[in-house]
A and B are shown apart, each in its own frame.
Chain A
Amino acid sequence: MMTAALAESHPITPILEMRAISKTFPGVKALDDVNIALFPGEVTALIGENGAGKSTLVKILTGIYPSDEGEIHIDGRPVTFGNAQAAIDHGVTAIHQETVLFDELSVAENIFIGHAPKTSLGLVNWKGVNARALALLHSLESNIDPRTRLKDLSIAQRHLVAIARALSVDARIVIMDEPTAALSRKEVDDLFQIVKRLKAQGKAILFISHKFDEVYEIADNYAVFRDGKAVGSGALADISQNDIVRLMVGRSIEHAFPKVDIPLGETVLKVENYSHPTEFRDISFELRKGEILGIYGLVGAGRSEICQSLFGVTRPSGGRLELDGKEIQIRSPGDAIHAGIVYVPEERGRHGAVLQLPIYQNISLPSLGRTSRSGFLRAAEELALARTYAERFDLRAAALSVPVGTLSGGNQQKVVIGKWLATQPKILILDEPTKGIDIGSKAAVHAFISELAGEGLSIIMVSSELPEILGMSDRVLVMREGLSAGLFERAGMSAETLVRAATGNA
C-alpha cells in the first residue's frame, strides 16, 4: 500500500491514519481497502472523479457512516466514531461545500451555535461567546466584528465564519470539502492565507478539490481515489499534473475543451442597454446562431442575474431585446420558453427537477403546450417526447414512469438537460454548466455543448472557470459589479485580459 509506505517514509508521524477502510453499500463497494494518512502542519489533497469514494471517506471520517472494515488511528491509538459528536470530540471537523449558517444571527452566535459557553446558571455566557469569537477570528487574522449579523457579510467573510465555526471545537484535523467551489479568485487567495495559518498552527488538513491549480498551490501531499480504491499517494512535488490525471481516470484523457469552430450565422438575439434596478446596468451584446457567448466575472458581478432576467424570472428596469430582428418582451419564464429561450440553472438539483414526479412528466413539463390538446394532457405524446430525450442522453432508469427522486445524481442531471432541450430552444443559457463536476465528465459536457452549437443552437454560458471560458467561448462578455467590463473576441482574449477586466486591475 502506497499510503502505508508514505506513512513509514514520512519524516513526521501522522495525526490521523485510516487503515484498510472498506465500506459496502447494498450491491456496491464504495470504499475498498483504503489507506490514508494526514500529517500535522500539512495539507493533503484528496483527488478523484465523482463517485470515486471521496464523500464516503469524509462521511466515515466525520462519524456519519461507520466503516465496515478497517481502523482509524489518531496519534497512533485506534478510535471509533460512533456518531458525528464522537468525531468532533476527537478533533475532526469538516467544512462542507455549502455550509449552513444563519443569516439573522450574529457572527459569534453562528460560530458557537450548539456549544456556546455557559454561565454557572446554565445560561449562555454572551460575554464569553463574543470574546472567544473575537479571539478565533483574530487567530484567522480577520477583523470581522463578532456582533455583525451574518447577512451583512460578503461571501468570503461568511466562509471565514464557517471556518471559525469549524475551529471553535478545538479541531486538529480539518476537512475542507470543495471549499473554493463558490469563491472568486480573490476570495480563494484569502482562503489559502487562512489554510496556511492553519498549517502553521500544526493542524492536519484534508483538502478536496476538483481544481488542479489550487491543489498544486496549497497542498503538500496527494491521495488519488478511483472507483473506491486509493490508487496513489505521496508528496505533490514528486508527481506531475498529467500523472495525477492519469491516476484519477485510469486512462489518458483527450483535450478538455473540444470547441469546434463553427461558422457563425445571423444575429439571433440582440440585447441593448439592458438594466435591472439593483443587479446590473446598461448591458448590451449580440448573440449569433451557433455562437457560444461566455459571460465571465467574479461571483456577485451580476452574471446569473442577467440570465435570469433574460429568462423572465426577474423583471428588467430598462433596455430592449430583439429576437430574430423583432423586439420582444419577456415577462415570465413561460414567455421565454415560448420565444425559444431556456435557462439551465446553476443548482440543477434544487431548481431543475420535481423529484416526486415521474421522469416523463419532468421532461415534458416545459413542453406541455406542445403535448397537450385543448387543455388536456396526452400521456402518449409526453412519453414519446421523454423517450426521445432519454435515449439521446442514455438515461438509465427502470421505466420513464419512476419518480426522478429515485435516480442517481448523474441521471437526474440528464433528465434536467433533456427537459430543456425537449422545448426545442433557439437559445440555451447555461449557468456554470460544469460546477462541481470532475474532469472526465467535464470534457463530456464540453463536447456536448460544442455539439449543440454545431446544430445551430446559440449558447450563453456563465462560468467562473477561466479555462472553460477561454476554451469554449467564441466571444466573452466580462462583467464587474453589474456593469459590462468589456466584450472580447476569441482572437483577442487571454486569461490575463479577462481577469484584469473582471477585477478592475488596469
Chain B
Amino acid sequence: MIKQLFKFREMLLVVIIAVLLGVFSSRSPGFASPSNLSNIFNDTSILIILALGQMTVILTKSIDLSVAANVAFTGMAVAMLNAAHPGLPLALIVLIALGIGAILGAINGLFVWKLGIPSIVVTLGTLTIYRGMAFVLSGGGWVNAHQMTEPFLQTPRQLFLGLPVLGWTAIVIVAIIYIVMSRTFLGRAIYASGGNPTAAVYAGIDVGRTRFFAFVLSGTLAGLCGYLWVSRYAVAYVDIAAGFELDSVAACVIGGISTLGGIGSVAGAVLGSLFLGVIKNALPVINISPFSQMAISGGVIIAAVIFNARQERRRGRIILRDRGASETIEGIA
C-alpha cells in the first residue's frame, strides 16, 4: 500500500511536470520543443547528480549540507590543476575530482560514524570549512576559461544523440545509483538503517558504517559535480554553487524522500530535480524575476512538505484502522 502510494506520487510529479511544460509552452511557443527539453535536462544534470547523493544520505536519517562546498572546493582544485598542468589527461582529472569528493565525504562520514555527532552539525561545520579551504587554495582568485584546456571545457558539451555528454553523465549516474539502491547490499542497508536503525542493528547491519558509505557516495558525486560545474560555467571561484546544497535537499523533499529516513526512490529524486529544473528554466521565459523565482521555489518546497506530511498522516490513519480491524479478525480466527 505504501509502495503504491509512492508510485502514485511519482506519477503525480510526472503529470505536474507535464502540465507545467504544457502551460509554459502555451505562453512561450517552443518551450516544449525537443531541443529546449534537452537543454533543460542538461541544465538540471548537476542537480540530479547531487540530489541522488543527498538522497542516499537522507535515506539513512542524515543530511549532507556540505555538498555545495564540496563542489566549490573540488571544482577549484581540478580547475587549478588543469591550469597548472594542461598536459594531464581529462580522465585523470575526473578521477581526481571523484577522489577529492570522496575524501571530503568520508570526513563527514567519519565524524558521524566514529564520534556519533549529528550529521546536520557535522556538515554545517564542514560546509564552512570546505569553502574556506577553497579560499585558501585559490587565495581568493579565479580560474577563468582561457586558463582551462580545450578537453576540460568542451568534453561535457559534446553532443551525442542530441544530448550533451553532461546530460548523458547524469543518465549514467542515475542508472548506477538505481542499481546500487535496488541490487546491492549497501542499498538495502541504507533503506534499513534509515527505516528502523535499531532493527537494522539487530539484523547485523552496521548502521554507522552504512551512514559513512552514504556520505562517501554523496561526497564522490559532489566531487564529480565540482568538475562538471566549473566546466559548464567555464569559471572557478570560491563562491560557486553557493546555497546549492539546499536545492539538492529540496529536490529530494519534492521527490517524496522522507526526511525521517527509510522512504524514497531514485525516481523521486530525479523527478524532484527535474521539477525544480523546469521551474527555474520556465520563469525567466514568462518574464518572472529571479527574486520571485526564489519565492516560488520556496513555496513549492513547503507545498511538497505539506503534501508529504498529509500522506504520512493519512497512512497513519489507515494503519490505525487496519489494526482495529485485524485485531478483531484475529480474535474471530
Contact = CB atoms under 8 A, between A and B. Distances in A.
Contacts of A227: 328, 331-332
Provide the main secondary structure of the chain B interface: helix
B328 A28 contact: yes
A333 B321 contact: no
A221 to B, nearest CB: 22
Contacts of B192: 354, 357, 365
Given A26-B325, A28-B324, A356-B2, A405 B262 contact: no
B195 interface: yes
Interface in A47-92: 49-53, 55-56
B204 A366 contact: yes
B206 interface: yes
Contacts of A56: 324, 327
A288 interface: no
Given A337-B203, A376-B184, A405-B2, 8 more contacts: A51-B327, A51-B331, A332-B204, A337-B204, A350-B199, A354-B199, A406-B322, A410-B330
B328 A377 contact: no
A313 B201 contact: yes
B327 A30 contact: yes
Contact of B203 (A333, A338, A401, A409): A333
B199 A403 contact: no
Interface string B288-332: 000000000000000000000000000000010111111111111
A356 B263 contact: yes
A297 interface: no
Contacts of A49: 331
A358 B196 contact: no
B201 A356 contact: no
Question: What 7 pairs between A and B have smallest CB-CB spacing?
Answer: A408-B326, A51-B331, A334-B204, A354-B195, A51-B327, A25-B324, A366-B203
Contacts of B203: 333, 337, 365-366, 419
A30 B195 contact: no
A356 B328 contact: no
Given A375-B185, A408-B326, A354 B204 contact: no
Contacts of B323: 408-409
B1 A402 contact: yes
B3 interface: yes
B200 interface: yes
Interface string B104-143: 0000000000000000000000000000000000000000
29 contacts: A28-B324, A28-B325, A51-B327, A53-B331, A56-B327, A333-B201, A336-B204, A343-B202, A345-B202, A351-B198, A351-B199, A354-B195, A354-B262, A355-B196, A356-B263, A357-B192, A358-B3, A366-B204, A375-B184, A376-B184, A377-B185, A401-B3, A402-B1, A403-B2, A403-B3, A405-B2, A408-B322, A408-B326, A410-B326
A418 interface: no
A492 interface: no
Given A351-B198, A377-B183, A403-B1, A51 B329 contact: yes
Contacts of B330: 50-51, 408, 410
Contacts of B187: 377
Nearest to A227: B331
B188 interface: yes
B191 interface: yes
A304 interface: no
A218 interface: no
Contacts of A244: none
Contacts of B322: 406, 408
B205 interface: yes
Q: How large is the interface on B (under 10, 10 to 19, 20 to 34, 35 or more residues)?
A: 35 or more
Provide the main secondary structure of the chain A interface: mixed
Interface string A323-358: 000000000111011100001010000111111111
Interface in A212-257: 226-228
A226 B331 contact: yes
Interface in B157-188: 182-185, 187-188
Contacts of B326: 51, 407-411
Contacts of B195: 354-357
Nearest to B263: A356
A334 to B, nearest CB: 4
B191 to A, nearest CB: 6
A368 interface: yes
Q: How large is the interface on A (under 10, 10 to 19, 20 to 34, 35 or more residues)?
A: 35 or more
Given A352-B199, A354-B191, A28 B329 contact: yes
Interface string B260-297: 00110000000000000000000000000000000000
A44 interface: no
B185 A372 contact: yes
A356 B321 contact: no
A27 interface: yes
A228 B333 CA distance: 12
B204 A333 contact: yes
Nearest to A376: B183
Given A27-B325, A408-B322, A356 B188 contact: no
Given A313-B202, A334-B206, A377 B329 contact: no
A93 interface: no
A463 interface: no
Contacts of A228: 328, 331
A180 interface: no
Nearest to A366: B203
B161 to A, nearest CB: 29
A424 to B, nearest CB: 14
A366 B321 CA distance: 31
Interface in B196-220: 196, 198-206
Give the one of A51, A56, A353 with max B CB within 10 A.
Answer: A51
Contacts of A26: 321, 325
A29 interface: yes
Interface string B1-23: 11100000000000000000000
A376 to B, nearest CB: 5
A351 B202 contact: yes
B191 A357 contact: yes
A174 B188 CA distance: 46
Interface string A1-29: 00000000000000000000000011111
Interface in A372-409: 372, 375-377, 401-403, 405-409
Contacts of A35: none
A361 interface: yes
A50 B209 CA distance: 39
Contacts of A411: 326
A51 B332 CA distance: 8
A227 B332 CA distance: 6
A27 B331 CA distance: 14
Contacts of A30: 324-325, 327-328
A375 B183 CA distance: 9
A385 to B, nearest CB: 14
A502 B185 CA distance: 44
A93 to B, nearest CB: 22
A223 to B, nearest CB: 16
Contact of B188 (A52, A353, A377, A403): A377
Nearest to A59: B324
Given A334-B205, A368-B188, A372-B185, A354 B328 contact: no
A25 B325 contact: yes
Contacts of A352: 199, 202
